[in-house]
Amino acid sequence: MNGIDLLPLAVGHLIGLAAIGSCIGIGTLGGRFIEASARQPELMEPLQGKVFLLAGITDGAFIIATGVGLWFATTNPFKG
């Protein structure tokens, strides 16, 4: 086996691990936001904007990883 034969496996891992990490990050972020808003309801509005910003950044990292994985799958930059 050479590196080209393992490319689909590498792309699958790249996209899958990015999806798992993004889901764990969004879940933790949402849980902590709910916990913080329950403890101090007056901070709910200032925290809400930060939560949406961080959720977008976390999803953006997953989308970038998916784009890189699909780029590798279609053009195969490692092919000599």
pLDDT at residue 63 is higher than 90 = yes
Triad 21, 51, 44: Cα angle to 5°: 145
pLDDT at residue 61 is higher than 70 = yes
pLDDT at residue 13 is higher than 80 = yes
* CA separation for the pair 68, 64 (Å, rounded): 6
Each residue of 18-46: pLDDT tens digit?
999 999 999 999 999 999 999 999 999 99
- What pLDDT shows up at residue 77? 67
* CA separation for the pair 12, 69 (Å, rounded): 8
Q: Domain residues of the chain, as ranges?
A: 7-74
Catalytic site residue from 8, 23, 30, 59:
59
Average pLDDT, the chain: 88
The yes-or-no answer on residue 59 being catalytic is: yes
Orientation angle between helical segments 7-39 and 44-75, nearest 10 degrees: 180
Fold of 7-74: F1FO ATP Synthase (1.20.20)
